Chain A
Amino acid sequence: MPTPVRRKLIFACLSLSALALVLSGTALAGAGRGIPPADSPNAGGIQDLYVVVLIVTGIIFVIVEGALLLFIFRFRGGGRARAAEGPQIRGHTRLELIWTAIPALILAGIIAVVFFKLPGIQDVPDAGAAGPKMTVQVEGRQFYWRYTYPNGAVSINQLVVPAQRPIALVITAPDFDVIHSWWVPQLAGKMDAIPGKTNHTWFEADHEGIYQGQCAEFCGIQHAMMLTQVRAVSNAEYESWVARQLKVSADIGHMTFLGACAPCHGMQGQGIIGPALKGNATLANPQQLRTLLAHGKRKMPPVGEGWTPQEINSLIAYLKQEFVSGG
Chain B
Amino acid sequence: MAVRAEPVYPVPWYRGRFTSWITTVDHKRIGILYLVTCLVFFGAGGILAVLMRTQLAQTNEKFLSAEHYNELMTVHGLTMVFLVIVPILAGFGNFMVPLMIGAKDVAFPRLNALSYWLFLFAGVVLYASFFATGGAAQTGWTLYPPLSEQYAGNGVDLAILALHILTVSSLVGAINFIVTIHRMRAPGMTWMRVPLFVWSIDVYAWILVIVLPALSAGLTLLLLDRQAGTHFFQPNEGGNALLFQHVFWFFGHPEVYVMILPVMGIISEIIPVFSRKPIFGYTAVAFSTVAIGFYSLLVWAHHMFTVGLATPLLGFFMISSMIIAVPTGIKILNWLATTWRGNLIFETPMLFALGFIALFTIGGLSGIFLATFPVDWQAQDSYFVVAHLHYVLFGGSMFGIFGGLYYWWPKMFGRKLDETLGKWHFWLLFIGFNLTFFPQHLLGLAGMPRRIYTYSRGGWETDNMISTIGSYVMGAAILVFVVNVIWTRRRAGVRAGNDPWLGDTLEWYTTSPPPPHNFEKVPYVTSARPLRDLRKRLETRRA
Contacts of B446 in A (CB 8 A): 34-36, 185
Complex Cα–Cα for A56 and B438 (A): 19
Q: B139, B345, B444 — which one has the most chain A CB atoms within 10 A of its CB? A: B345
CB of A150 within 8 A of chain B?
A: no
Contacts of A276 in B (CB 8 A): none
Complex Cα–Cα for A185 and B447 (A): 6
Q: A16, A77, A110, A121 — which one has the most chain B CB atoms within 10 A of its CB? A: A77
Complex Cα–Cα for A24 and B235 (A): 45
Complex Cα–Cα for A30 and B362 (A): 15
From the candidates A31, A117, A197, name the one contacting B374 in the complex (CB within 8 A).
Answer: A117
Query: Which residue on A lies nearest to B283, using beta carbons?
Result: A91
Q: B430 and A103: CB pair below 8 A?
A: no
Contacts of B283 in A (CB 8 A): 91
Map CB proximity to A onto B346-383 as digits: 1 under 8 Å, 0 otherwise.
Answer: 10000100100110011001101100111111101110
Q: A68 and B241: CB pair below 8 A?
A: no
Q: B330 and A100: CB pair below 8 A?
A: yes
Q: B374 and A121: CB pair below 8 A?
A: yes
CB of A127 within 8 A of chain B?
A: no
How many Å from the CB of A178 to the closest CB on chain B? 4
Complex Cα–Cα for A110 and B373 (A): 11
How many Å from the CB of A41 to the closest CB on chain B? 13
Q: B341, B375, B441, B442 — which one has the most chain A CB atoms within 10 A of its CB? A: B375
CB of A4 within 8 A of chain B?
A: no
State which of A220-228, A236-244, A287-295, A314-322 sits at the interface with chain B: A220-228
CB of A177 within 8 A of chain B?
A: yes
CB of B227 within 8 A of chain A?
A: no
A31-B445, A68-B357 given; A122·B346 CB < 8 A:
no
Map CB proximity to A onto B273-301 as digits: 1 under 8 Å, 0 otherwise.
Answer: 00111101111100000000000000000
State which of A131-139, A153-161, A186-194 sits at the interface with chain B: A186-194
CB of B44 within 8 A of chain A?
A: no
Complex Cα–Cα for A228 and B457 (A): 13
Residues of chain A from 183 to 213 with CB closer than 8 A to chain B in the complex: 183, 185, 188-192, 194-197, 199-200, 212-213
Q: B332 and A96: CB pair below 8 A?
A: no
Q: A213 and B311: CB pair below 8 A?
A: no
How many Å from the CB of B364 to the closest CB on chain A? 9
CB of B319 within 8 A of chain A?
A: yes
Complex Cα–Cα for A35 and B382 (A): 12
How many Å from the CB of B298 to the closest CB on chain A? 15
Q: A90 and B280: CB pair below 8 A?
A: yes
How many Å from the CB of A94 to the closest CB on chain B? 12
Map CB proximity to B onto A16-53 as digits: 1 under 8 Å, 0 otherwise.
Answer: 11001101100100110111100000010110011001
A100-B326, A212-B457, A218-B139 given; A178·B276 CB < 8 A:
no
How many Å from the CB of B450 to the closest CB on chain A? 8
CB of B487 within 8 A of chain A?
A: no
Complex Cα–Cα for A273 and B342 (A): 62
Question: Number of A residues contacting the other chain (C-beta, 8 Å)?
Answer: 96
Complex Cα–Cα for A96 and B369 (A): 25
A183-B447, A190-B377 given; A224·B66 CB < 8 A:
yes
From the candidates B240, B333, B427, name the one contacting A99 in the complex (CB within 8 A).
Answer: B333
CB of A88 within 8 A of chain B?
A: yes
From the candidates A34, A115, A195, name the one contacting B441 in the complex (CB within 8 A).
Answer: A34
Q: A216 and B280: CB pair below 8 A?
A: no
Q: B453 and A103: CB pair below 8 A?
A: no
Q: A107 and B326: CB pair below 8 A?
A: yes
Contacts of B210 in A (CB 8 A): none
Contacts of B441 in A (CB 8 A): 27, 31, 34
A212-B457, A221-B67 given; A99·B275 CB < 8 A:
no
Q: B330 and A99: CB pair below 8 A?
A: yes
Complex Cα–Cα for A196 and B339 (A): 55
How many Å from the CB of B420 to the closest CB on chain A? 9
Residues of chain B from 13 to 43 with CB closer than 8 A to chain A in the complex: none
CB of B325 within 8 A of chain A?
A: yes
Contacts of B376 in A (CB 8 A): 189
Complex Cα–Cα for A199 and B283 (A): 46
Contacts of A115 in B (CB 8 A): 315
A21-B358, A72-B339, A111-B318 given; A35·B449 CB < 8 A:
no
CB of B70 within 8 A of chain A?
A: yes
How many Å from the CB of B378 to the closest CB on chain A? 5
A68-B354, A103-B325, A179-B241 given; A75·B284 CB < 8 A:
no
From the candidates A36, A89, A199, name the one contacting B447 in the complex (CB within 8 A).
Answer: A36
A31-B445, A83-B502, A85-B276 given; A75·B343 CB < 8 A:
yes
Complex Cα–Cα for A272 and B354 (A): 49
Complex Cα–Cα for A64 and B336 (A): 8
How many Å from the CB of B360 to the closest CB on chain A? 10
State which of B110-118, B144-152, B215-223 sits at the interface with chain A: B144-152
A34-B441, A220-B147 given; A71·B449 CB < 8 A:
no
CB of A87 within 8 A of chain B?
A: yes
How many Å from the CB of B311 to the closest CB on chain A? 7
Q: B361 and A65: CB pair below 8 A?
A: yes
Complex Cα–Cα for A9 and B442 (A): 33
CB of B167 within 8 A of chain A?
A: no
Q: B346 and A77: CB pair below 8 A?
A: yes
Contacts of B236 in A (CB 8 A): 175-176, 195-196
From the candidates B318, B378, B449, name the one contacting A50 in the complex (CB within 8 A).
Answer: B378
Q: B345 and A82: CB pair below 8 A?
A: yes
Contacts of A89 in B (CB 8 A): 277-278, 280, 337, 340-341
CB of A104 within 8 A of chain B?
A: yes
CB of A214 within 8 A of chain B?
A: yes
CB of B436 within 8 A of chain A?
A: no
Complex Cα–Cα for A86 and B343 (A): 6
Q: A223 and B452: CB pair below 8 A?
A: yes
CB of B7 within 8 A of chain A?
A: no
* Chain A to chain B contacts (Cβ below 8 Å), 12 pairs: A17-B430, A27-B438, A50-B378, A72-B344, A80-B343, A91-B282, A96-B334, A181-B381, A190-B381, A212-B457, A218-B450, A224-B455
8 tightest A-B contacts by CB?
Answer: A189-B377, A196-B235, A224-B452, A34-B442, A175-B236, A34-B445, A199-B308, A91-B281
Q: A27-B442, A189-B374 are known; give 5 further A-B pairs, CB within 8 A.
A: A16-B427, A23-B434, A64-B357, A90-B282, A178-B150
